[in-house]
Amino acid sequence: MLRQVERLLCEGLYQRLKDREGRKIERGAASGDLARNMRDTAQTRNFGRVFNVEKYKELILPSLQETRIVVTLAPAKPVGLADLGVPLVDTTMVKKGRAHEYPQLLTDGKIGRRFQDLRIIGIKTVEAGVPSAKLFVQFEVFGDNTAAPTNGVGFEAALFAGSQQLASLSSSSLFLPYANFWYPNRFVFEVPVADFDQADRLEFIAKPEEVRTV
Q: What is the pLDDT of residues 89-121, one digit of tens each?
A: 999 999 999 999 999 999 999 999 999 999 999
Together in a domain, 134 and 101? yes
Q: What is the per-residue pLDDT for 18?
A: 56
Where a domain ends, among 17, 37, 60?
A: 60
Res. 151 pLDDT band, cuts 50 70 90: confident
Q: What is the mean pLDDT of residues 16-44?
A: 56
Instruction: Supply the range of the domain harboring residue 48.
Output: 1-60
Question: Is 0.85 topped by the overall pTM?
Answer: no
User: Are 54 and 74 found together in one domain?
Assistant: no
- DSSP notation for the chain: -HHHHHHHHHHHHHHHHHHHHHHHHHHHHHHHHHHHHHHHHHHHHHHHHHHHHHHHHHHPPPEEPPEEEEEE-EEE-S-S-GGGT----TT-EEEEEEEEEEEEEBTTSSEEEEEEEEEEEEEEEEETTEEEEEEEEEEEEEESSEE--SS---EEEEEEETTEEEEEEEES-----SSSSEEEEEEEEEE-HHHHHH--EEEEEEPPEE-EE-
Average pLDDT, the chain: 84
Same domain, 69 and 31: no
CATH of the domain at 176: 2.60.40
Q: pLDDT tens for residues 175-209?
A: 999 999 999 999 999 999 999 999 999 999 999 99
Q: Does residue 184 sit in the same domain as residue 106?
A: yes
Among the listed ranges 55-59, 86-90, 94-98, 126-130, which one has the minimum average pLDDT value? 55-59
